[in-house]
Structures are given as structure tokens and as C-alpha cells.
């Protein structure tokens, strides 16, 4: 599984069953999502979903997923980002590459981009901060875990996409 072979491309409808299976593996290993959805395919396409991408190795299949929600007002939001446990730690940088696809799309749309992550999401937080995402707020989830808790969240914004920040291809 060489990085050069793995690509990121728009998600196709016929891939939903494979993505649900990958999501199940992620849930069993990491507890994401915190509560297993009654309709996993529906969960992968939340209200306001503007676009979704997958990471794919042509030899082994799908390796990751990300979506973006946008309602036409305010920034777009990264959603449903996950990478297959079997594909992690191999130097493929799949999380970063999936985020790059969302960031490029948001930039083309002229939108800012935000994401939220549970406070104890150590590896995800490390990824976002390594990529320059900026912690802008802390809050509480508007959803509940299986045991009824509302978890603390960190809210990040993408770097270089906000007024007053340096942006690639734009002069400050």
C-alpha cells in the first residue's frame, strides 16, 4: 500500500455498504461515533451534506471518508472523518489528505471551514493541530452518548481561510 497509489476522490453511492462496514470497524476500535447510529448509511449523509470524499487504494479498496456540510450561511463544517484502523500508521497521511480535499473545496466555494472533536480525541486533536487548525472555542456536544452524556468538544477552524489571515495565492 504505497502512498502514491492511494487517491482521494468524491464518494459514490454504491460505496455506502463498504463505508458502513469500515465505520463499524472504527466504532469498535475507537468508539467513533460515540453512539452507533440506527441508520449508519443515513448518518454518513447528514442534513446539509454538500460533498463527501473517500480515500482509496486501487488494490485494497476504501481506506477513509470525510464529508462537508454547508448551509449557505457561515462556515462549512467537516463531518464524518474517519480512517480504517488497518490503514493507520503506514505513512499514508490519509486524515491529512482527506482534510485537504475538504479544505480545497471550501476555498473554491469561498467558505471558511470548521470542525469539532470530542475533548478526549487525542490522535484527532494531534492531527488537526499539526496541520495548523486553530482551536477557537470549547463547547458541549448537542448529541448524547449511549449512556446519556453530552461530551465536551473542541471547535477548530482551518488555517488560512479567514479574513486577515495569509492565504495561499493571496497577498496579505
Distance CA 96, CA 172 (A): 25
Containing H/E element for 155? Answer: strand 152-157
Chain length of the chain: 172
| Domain ranges (residues) in the chain | 7-157
8-43 pLDDT, tens digit each: 999 999 999 999 999 999 999 998 998 899 999 999
Give the mean model confidence (pLDDT) for residues 122-127. 89
Answer yes or no: is pLDDT of 170 > 90: no
Answer yes or no: is pLDDT of 65 > 70: yes
> Which homologous superfamily does the CATH classification assign to the domain defined by 7-157?
Gcn5-related N-acetyltransferase (GNAT) (3.40.630.30)
DSSP 32: -
How open is the CA angle 74-78-84, to the nearest 5 degrees?
175
**For residue 154, what are the β-bridge partners?**
117, 138
CA distances from 67 to 6, 124, 164 (A): 18, 16, 26
Answer yes or no: is pLDDT of 74 > 90: no
What local confidence, expressed as pLDDT, does residue 4 receive? 58
Distance CA 115, CA 69 (A): 10
pTM to 2 decimal places:
0.88
pLDDT level of residue 67 (50, 70, 90 thresholds)? very high
pLDDT level of residue 169 (50, 70, 90 thresholds)? very low
What local confidence, expressed as pLDDT, does residue 28 receive? 96
Give the mean model confidence (pLDDT) for residues 52-69. 96
Phi-psi region of 149 (alpha: psi -120 to 50; beta: other; left: phi over 0): beta
Non-local (6+) Cβ contacts of 91 within 8 A are 3
Distance CA 94, CA 65 (A): 9
Amino acid at each position: 500500500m504505497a502512498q502514491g497509489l492511494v487517491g482521494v476522490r468524491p464518494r459514490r453511492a454504491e460505496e455506502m455498504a463498504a463505508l458502513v462496514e469500515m465505520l463499524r470497524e472504527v466504532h469498535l476500535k475507537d468508539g467513533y461515533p460515540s453512539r452507533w447510529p440506527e441508520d449508519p448509511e443515513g448518518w454518513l449523509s447528514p442534513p446539509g451534506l454538500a460533498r463527501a470524499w473517500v480515500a482509496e487504494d486501487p488494490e485494497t479498496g476504501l481506506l477513509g471518508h470525510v464529508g462537508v456540510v454547508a448551509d449557505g450561511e457561515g462556515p462549512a463544517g467537516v463531518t464524518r472523518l474517519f480512517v480504517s484502523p488497518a490503514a493507520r500508521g503506514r505513512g499514508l497521511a490519509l486524515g491529512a489528505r482527506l482534510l485537504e480535499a475538504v479544505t480545497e473545496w471550501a476555498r473554491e466555494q469561498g467558505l471558511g471551514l470548521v470542525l469539532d472533536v470530542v475533548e478526549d480525541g487525542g490522535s484527532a486533536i494531534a492531527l488537526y493541530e499539526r496541520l495548523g487548525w486553530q482551536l477557537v472555542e470549547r463547547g458541549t456536544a448537542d448529541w448524547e452518548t449511549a449512556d446519556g452524556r453530552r461530551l465536551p468538544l473542541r471547535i477548530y477552524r482551518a488555517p488560512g481561510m479567514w479574513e486577515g489571515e495569509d492565504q495561499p495565492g493571496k497577498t496579505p
